[in-house]
Structure 1
Amino acid sequence: MKKILFFDTSIGTLNIGDEIINDSIQKISEEMFSDDYIMRLPSRTGILNKFQLFYNKSFRQNFCEADLKFVCGTNLLYKNMLRPMPNWNINLFNTKVSEQSILFGVGSGNNSKEITKYTQMLYKRVLSRDYVHSVRDQATKNMLDSIGVQSVVTGCPTLWNLDEYKCSKIPQEKSENVLFTLTHYTTFRNYDEDKKMIQILKKLYRKVYFWPQSLEDLNYLEELDESTDVNIISPNLKSFDNFLTNNDTDYVGTRLHGGIYALQHGRRSIILAIDNRAREIKNNNNIPCIERDDTSSSLEKMIKAKWDTRILIEDDKIERWKQQFTK
């Protein structure tokens, strides 16, 4: 029996999208490590302080000496890790538990032109050199290539089970109902296009639903003054799951993993790209996606059109990555 440690990115976040990622990773890992002991620690918050590491050696060793350590998805890597609130809360003084970590569908953000010397030192200290890492997109692979860390583009783990058969069951034409999402972050707001999206949905669908994937998304909807005739789904993953399971609906919105979760439930989805994540995943995996800032000119046409959902999954790369851990 092996001890397997997962650094869970869904703890200490205000974005339920991280729960969606970790839900998929948990299902995949249960198949990969069905006979092993699974441990979890948060990636975003401090893990163990120096006193705790010193005080209980046997407790610490279970984590530090785990047979395999995986970091679970999301935008975790940055070119400059001297950030006030990193998604992977590591620095040169607290890496003991994180050493020899393996990336599991991890993506990256771009906050610097080049990887800083400090960040290179940090990654070389914590990232395993014994295994090939699984990364979400080509941009993340390029970053790791530049510092000599081997990786393979597997796509986001939320997509791994969206095979040709499952995609064939997703409707080609619009439903009578639609669920939409918004993104409240200041840098990603576009009042005109977000407002236009909701107006288009109200015009084309019989019933319109809204799911707040993050804490302030509902406030943003109210700021747009478009909440009239919009039905609110409770802001938790169970409610979202129940709604998608029991209702014939389309999905339209800026929340990337809200859209992928809808695809997992066999729902026709249009993801509106607002950042590099959706664009990179579209390039690698062909998710149904248009630019949010083109909503006025493109969204209505896409909703009315008939089209197939064809997610591209590189099964051979995923399987080769998994096979490393069966030896």
Structure 2
Amino acid sequence: MDNIVLLDTSVGSLNKGDDIIMKCVREHLTEITKEDYVLTLPTHLAPFHWYQVVRGSNRVKLYSNAKYKFVGGSNLLTMDMLTHFPQWNINLFNYQPLKGSILVGVGAGKGTKIKRYTKMLYKKVLSHDYMHSVRDERTKSFVEDMGLKAINTGCATLWSLTPDFCLQIPKHKATSVVFTLTFHARHKESDQLLINVLQKNYEKIYFWIQDKEDLHYFHTLDNIEGIQIVSPTLAAYEKILSQDIDYIGTRLHGGIYAMRHKKRAIIIGIDERARGMGETYNLNQLDRREMSQLETTIHSAITTDVKLDLKRINTWLQQFRQVNTSDIELLFRGAQ
């Protein structure tokens, strides 16, 4: 039995969307990790102090010598690792035990030009043997520009949404709805319209808190009487999703997670990331600038038909099914 390290982006995160991502990452890595021992380390928090690395303790060596080191998705990569709080909290003094890390559905944050120090650090910590699974074409170019191999598999949260699975998602309106808001991208006029339309068209309305500040923002809006608050945990959200219910809201991964529970979802596109993923993967998305169409959309027959490249996902997984790394380049070429 070998050790496998899973770098967890949900530890220390302020957003329950990272819990969704990591649950999906764990699920889709099961076939690779099921015979081995999985060790977990955080990304948002520093995994080691520099003196632990320098001392070369046996505990650090356990992580360093792991068979694989997988890094869970989210906007992990950045253009400047000298920022005050990078999503991946590593530096030149503590990264060594994580050398050879492999990305799983990871995206890159804002910016167009990577800093010299950041590029050097990523080239040191990321695997040069395995191809990395990235969320989009922009991140693919970002990784390839560093001389590494990457394949666009999309976010791991999408991987279960195959054509057969999508056929099981209802097309028509439910009697209840769960919705989300996004405090850091708030727009009172649009968000108030969302609530008003839901109050008019659904018998029961639930509000799931994906970020603590979402609740504070919710209480600044009107017409919220009778709306039931759902605790900010995946267990509470899953319980709500076990009933006949629609999802409508501005939280992208809240919507995708609802789809994974075979619920009809209308994702409100509020930024370029959500709009880009919506267009690329054919998510049922309504742009915030078109909120006047929400009521009509709710009463329409909605077909869920997520456009996944299953060949790419399988190609990325296949490199761990056969451990011979000399074959990885052939697999990579076949997926392009």
What TM-score do you get using the length of structure 2 for normalisation?
0.92
> Aligned partners of 1:35 and 1:75: how far apart in 2?
29
Match of 1:195 in 2: 192
Structure 2 residue identity aligned to 1:204: N
Match of 2:260 in 1: 264
Structure 1 residue identity aligned to 2:256: I
> Aligned partners of 2:280 and 2:41: how far apart in 1?
30
Deviation digits for residues 1-37 of structure 1 (CA, Å, limit 9, x no counterpart)? 3221110001001211111111111111222221111
Match of 1:242 in 2: 239
Answer yes or no: is the 8 Å Cα contact 1:105–1:156 preserved in 2: yes
Deviation digits for residues 47-97 of structure 1 (CA, Å, limit 9, x no counterpart)? 111233345621110111211111100110122222211111122222112
User: Across the two proteins, how many residue pairs are aligned to each other?
Assistant: 322
Match of 1:101 in 2: 101
2:202 aligned with 1:229? no
> Aligned partners of 1:109 and 1:240: how far apart in 2?
27
Match of 2:169 in 1: 170
2:302 aligned with 1:303? no
Q: In the TM superposition, what are the counterparts of 1:1-327 in structure 2 within 5 Å?
A: 1-55=1-55, 57-110=57-110, 112-185=111-184, 188-245=185-242, 247-295=243-291, 297-326=292-321, 327=323
Deviation digits for residues 114-133 of structure 1 (CA, Å, limit 9, x no counterpart)? 11212211111111110100
Shift of 1:228: 1.3
Answer yes or no: is the 8 Å Cα contact 2:5–2:63 preserved in 1: yes
> Aligned partners of 1:109 and 1:54: how far apart in 2?
31
Larger deviation, residues 274-283 vs 198-207? 274-283
> Aligned partners of 1:292 and 1:12: how far apart in 2?
30
Structure 2 residue identity aligned to 1:266: K
> Aligned partners of 1:265 and 1:107: how far apart in 2?
24
- Structure 2: unaligned runs, 5 residues or longer: 324-336
| SS of structure 1 residue aligned to 2:219 | helix
Shift of 1:322: 0.7
| SS of structure 2 residue aligned to 1:125 | helix
**Quick one: percent identity of the two aligned structures?**
42
Deviation digits for residues 202-222 of structure 1 (CA, Å, limit 9, x no counterpart)? 111111110111111111000
| SS of structure 2 residue aligned to 1:272 | strand
> Aligned partners of 2:148 and 2:108: how far apart in 1?
14
Match of 2:329 in 1: none
Change in CA separation of 1:29 and 1:249 when aligned onto 2, cut-off 3 Å: same
Answer yes or no: is the 8 Å Cα contact 2:53–2:94 preserved in 1: no
Answer yes or no: is the 8 Å Cα contact 1:138–1:280 preserved in 2: no
Answer yes or no: is the 8 Å Cα contact 1:178–1:251 preserved in 2: yes
> Aligned partners of 1:27 and 1:13: how far apart in 2?
20
- Structure 1: unaligned runs, 5 residues or longer: none
Answer yes or no: is the 8 Å Cα contact 1:138–1:284 preserved in 2: no
What TM-score do you get using the length of structure 1 for normalisation?
0.95
| SS of structure 1 residue aligned to 2:320 | coil
> Aligned partners of 2:272 and 2:96: how far apart in 1?
31
Structure 2 residue identity aligned to 1:248: D
